């Protein structure tokens, strides 16, 4: 029934555009989401994340372009396309006057093939077993978030969309969510599309991040997970902390883009060069107290790309 | 497929009947029937059971109308106000079918109230004041010039009230869909219903032909039970067919507007 996935993308956004009145809120946004990845969608408040997500799930009509989910157009084959999507758009709003279980039962009835057993399974998975028969009215935000995740994954979607899921969660909750989403992507092969205006979270959570600003897609960056970046030939920015900065600067003058910076001298070099420079400095009687690689964070990249506009 | 659609109706029913207010409404209806009967009894009155049933039904149907407006005005607007509309719509169902399931569950709720009212006004008054089912009652006690037993007359009156109720549900459902705010939808629906029939009373004094097509003049069909025509303004009377035609046009317009707006609307709640 579902068409094969072209080039491994579960979801393709093709020239997605939204205009309301004369304002262009989303401008010609194209993006491919690969299978089994946690894909971040980063942008300042008001940049159009929620609007994009609303169009992806058919809550808003596209002015132009299309969204293809598992080969089905959200415009022309809505029911087939949305079958593969689980989502929380903005806040995890549930029927407050019903219990958590009744809420899940409600949504399970809308998609054929979800058994009671499956409901129990997801209740277990999100850790709501003890409170599932209480009214949602009595839930904390964190619990509502989990119930939201439960309804979103109940039907085993190929794409899980979460709009700013960390809003209102404490650090422990965020860490828990992060581990959980990574597990879903790796073990179940689900593509997770998660939006946020916080860089720090995106770096921790995602394999790749698309950056949006003022409705335009600016860049897609892959996030380096700790420990994977130590490629021998990769050039990085390295800080040397030395006792005689003046002498060291003269010695290295004109080489490796050396410059003085906070906490010492920085050079651009690969691993072997760093070792050689260290030996040279020591030979000249300059004491080296520490050598540190300045890893370029997503934040630096983001600031570079957006020209320094803050995103907190 | 049909089975799957019934699941949607079950959902909507669940949303109506897990709320305490629904049961309070039904409780008030039953309670008032009992209370009115018992008060009449303790005052030493011995009215005819049909007179009691007819009077109570007439009064309590106003309450049923209000309850129906509250529930149907909240039906769509409430989901927008609470934000649950988003989770409701992102399912493999067209918006039309989701809306239809809501509409059907509201009609069922209206019918349930009418049924409860019928059964209780019938049974309570028969128990308290005795039962006289003879055909003579219709003319002599209830004053309706028809050769039918009183029970049949009551059924006819209820059918008229149910037609009225269907129009009420449909109108407040439309307002609910168009205005998306629960409180506003309830307020506006009640205002239109109560204000509408008052203003229409004034308008019908005008001798203008367009007055004949005002919805509120045709919502009460009970006059047709005892007469083939109904006077709607000075010197003008219309037939049942005319009234049903006017109702049908309004009905179709309400339904068309509701479905069109719901299907087209961007959900940005
Ligand atoms: N229904 C709407 N009508 C007009 N403008 C809107 C509407 N919804 C959102 N916007 C505007 O679109 C922009 C993007 O909003 P949104 O998608 O909510 O951003 P984000 O989720 O990234 O914070 C904002 O400038 C917002 O004011
Ligand atoms: Mg947003």
> pLDDT tens, A191-250?
999 999 988 888 888 999 999 999 999 988 888 654 444 556 667 778 888 888 888 888
Among the partner residues B11, B84, B267, nearest to A59 by beta-carbon distance: B267
Q: Is-contact B115 B215, C-beta < 8 A?
A: no
pLDDT > 50? residue A310: no
DSSP letter, residue A164 = S
Give the distance (Å) from ligand 2 centre to CA of residue A50: 4
Q: Is the CB of A54 under 6 A from ligand 1?
A: no
Q: Is-contact A34 A15, C-beta < 8 A?
A: no
Tokens for B88? 């409701």
Average model confidence (pLDDT) across chain B = 91
What number does CATH give the domain A232-294? Answer: 3.30.70
- DSSP SS3 for A99: strand
B128, B120, B80: which is closest to B262 by C-alpha? B80
In the block, which residue shows the tokens 């087209």?
B264
- DSSP SS3 for B236: strand
Burial of B39: CB neighbours in 10 Å, binned 0-12, 13-18, 19+: exposed
Q: Is-contact B157 B225, C-beta < 8 A?
A: yes
What number does CATH give the domain A6-222? Answer: 3.40.50.300
Q: Of the ligands numbered here, which is closest to the C-alpha atom of A48? A: 1
Segments of A144-189 assigned E as strands: 159-163
Task: Express each pLDDT in B91-133 by its tens digit.
Answer: 999 999 999 999 999 999 999 999 999 999 999 999 998 888 8
Going by CA atoms, what residue is nearest to atom 27 of ligand 1?
A46
User: pLDDT over 90 for what percent of chain A?
Assistant: 50
- With the C-alpha atoms ordered B92, B95, B97, B103, is the resulting torsion angle positive or negative? positive
pLDDT > 50? residue A81: yes
Integer Cα distance of B84 and B269 in angstroms = 9
Task: Express each pLDDT in A271-307 by its tens digit.
Answer: 788 888 888 889 888 888 888 877 666 666 666 666 5
B68, containing H or E segment = helix B49-82
Among the partner residues B11, B84, B89, nearest to A59 by beta-carbon distance: B89
- DSSP SS3 for A156: coil
A28, containing H or E segment = strand A23-34
* pTM for the whole structure: 0.85
B172, B163, B141, B5: which is closest to B78 by C-alpha? B172
């Amino acid at each position: 029934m579902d068409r094969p996935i072209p080039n491994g993308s579960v979801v393709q956004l093709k020239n997605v555009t939204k205009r309301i009145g004369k304002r262009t809120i989303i401008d010609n946004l194209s993006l491919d989401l690969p299978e089994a990845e946690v894909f971040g969608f980063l942008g300042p408040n008001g940049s159009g994340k929620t609007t994009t997500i609303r169009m992806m799930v058919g809550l808003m009509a596209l002015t132009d372009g299309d969204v293809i989910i598992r080969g089905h157009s959200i415009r022309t084959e809505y029911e087939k396309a949305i079958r593969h999507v689980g989502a929380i758009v903005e806040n995890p709003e549930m029927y407050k006057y019903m219990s958590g279980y009744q809420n899940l039962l409600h949504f399970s009835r809308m998609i054929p093939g979800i058994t009671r057993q499956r409901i129990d399974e997801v209740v277990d998975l999100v850790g709501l077993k003890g409170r599932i028969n209480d009214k949602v009215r009595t839930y904390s935000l964190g619990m509502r978030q989990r119930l939201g995740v439960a309804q979103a994954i109940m039907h085993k979607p190929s794409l899980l969309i979460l709009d700013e899921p960390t809003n209102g969660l404490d650090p422990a909750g965020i860490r828990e969510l992060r581990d959980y989403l990574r597990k879903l992507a790796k073990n179940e092969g689900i593509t997770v599309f998660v939006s946020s205006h916080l860089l720090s979270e995106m770096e921790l959570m995602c394999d790749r991040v698309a950056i949006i600003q003022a409705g335009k897609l600016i860049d897609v960056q892959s996030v380096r997970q700790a420990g994977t970046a130590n490629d021998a030939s990769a050039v990085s920015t390295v800080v040397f902390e030395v006792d005689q900065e003046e002498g060291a600067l003269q010695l290295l003058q004109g080489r490796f883009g050396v410059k003085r910076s906070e906490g010492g001298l920085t050079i651009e070099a690969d691993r072997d060069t760093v070792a050689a420079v260290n030996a040279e400095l020591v030979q000249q009687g300059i004491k080296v107290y520490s050598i540190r690689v300045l890893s370029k964070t997503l934040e630096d990249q983001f600031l570079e790309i957006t020209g320094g506009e803050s995103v907190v | 497929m049909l089975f799957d659609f019934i699941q949607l109706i079950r959902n909507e029913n669940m949303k109506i009947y897990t709320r305490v207010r629904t049961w309070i409404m039904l409780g008030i209806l039953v309670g008032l029937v009992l209370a009115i009967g018992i008060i009449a009894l303790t005052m030493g009155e011995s009215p005819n059971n049909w007179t009691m049933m007819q009077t109570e039904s007439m009064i309590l149907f106003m309450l049923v109308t209000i309850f129906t407006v509250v529930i149907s005005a909240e039906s769509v607007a409430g989901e927008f106000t609470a934000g649950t509309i988003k989770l409701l719509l992102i399912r493999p169902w067209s918006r039309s079918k989701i809306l239809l399931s809501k509409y059907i569950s509201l009609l069922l709720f209206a019918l349930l109230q009418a049924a409860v009212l019928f059964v209780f006004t019938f049974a309570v008054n028969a128990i308290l004041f005795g039962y006289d089912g003879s055909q003579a009652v219709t003319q002599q006690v209830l004053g309706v010039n028809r050769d039918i037993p009183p029970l049949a007359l009551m059924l006819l009156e209820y059918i008229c009230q149910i037609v009225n109720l269907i129009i009420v549900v449909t109108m407040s459902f439309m307002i609910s869909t168009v205005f998306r705010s629960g409180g506003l939808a309830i307020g506006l629906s009640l205002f239109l219903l109560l204000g509408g029939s008052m203003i229409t009373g004034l308008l019908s004094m005008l001798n203008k032909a367009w007055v004949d097509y005002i919805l509120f003049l045709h919502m009460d069909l009970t006059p047709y039970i005892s007469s083939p025509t109904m006077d709607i303004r000075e010197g003008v009377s219309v037939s049942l067919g005319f009234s049903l035609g006017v109702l049908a046009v309004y009905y179709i317009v309400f339904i068309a507007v509701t479905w069109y707006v719901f299907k087209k609307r961007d959900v940005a709640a």
